Structure formats: C-alpha cells, structure tokens
Amino acid sequence: MLDQKFSQSEIARRLGRDRATISREIKRNYWHDQEFPDAEGYWAMTANDMAHDRRRGSASSFVARICGTK
C-alpha cells in the first residue's frame, strides 16, 4: 500500500490496526542500504526476515548471557 501512495492512516484503517502500529512497523523495518540507495524502502519479505532475526537474536543473546558464553 505504501507503493500505491496510501497514507499510513489509510493503511491502518484498511488493516484494522492503529495508525501508530503502522508507523512503528514501517520505521522499524524500513530497509536502508548505502550501497544500493535505489533499493531503500519497506519490503514485506525483508521486514519479515528482519523481525525473525530480531526474535532469534534476542533469544540467542539471552541464552549466551545466561551460559556465560558472551
């Protein structure tokens, strides 16, 4: 919907979510790449991978701290 130039408010309304939720999602998962600036933007597949990495990273960091390996 961002590619179609919908506002965040309109996206939130259509998805049945709060506008702040949409804003946080876009801000958290917006792709930045200095080497490929034309590829910057919000990409759903990339956002999903980034969220997965955050979940996996926080858990592995937690386990490493408890085990004393980090």
Alpha-carbon distance of 31 to 60, in angstroms, equals 23
* pLDDT tens digit sequence for 9-64: 999 999 999 999 999 999 988 887 888 888 888 888 888 888 888 888 765 554 55
Are the beta carbons of 26 and 2 closer than 8 angstroms?
yes
67, pLDDT greater than 70: no
Any idea what the Cα angle at residue 18 is, between residues 11 and 29, rounded to 5°?
65
- Give residue 60's pLDDT: 54
Specify the pTM: 0.62
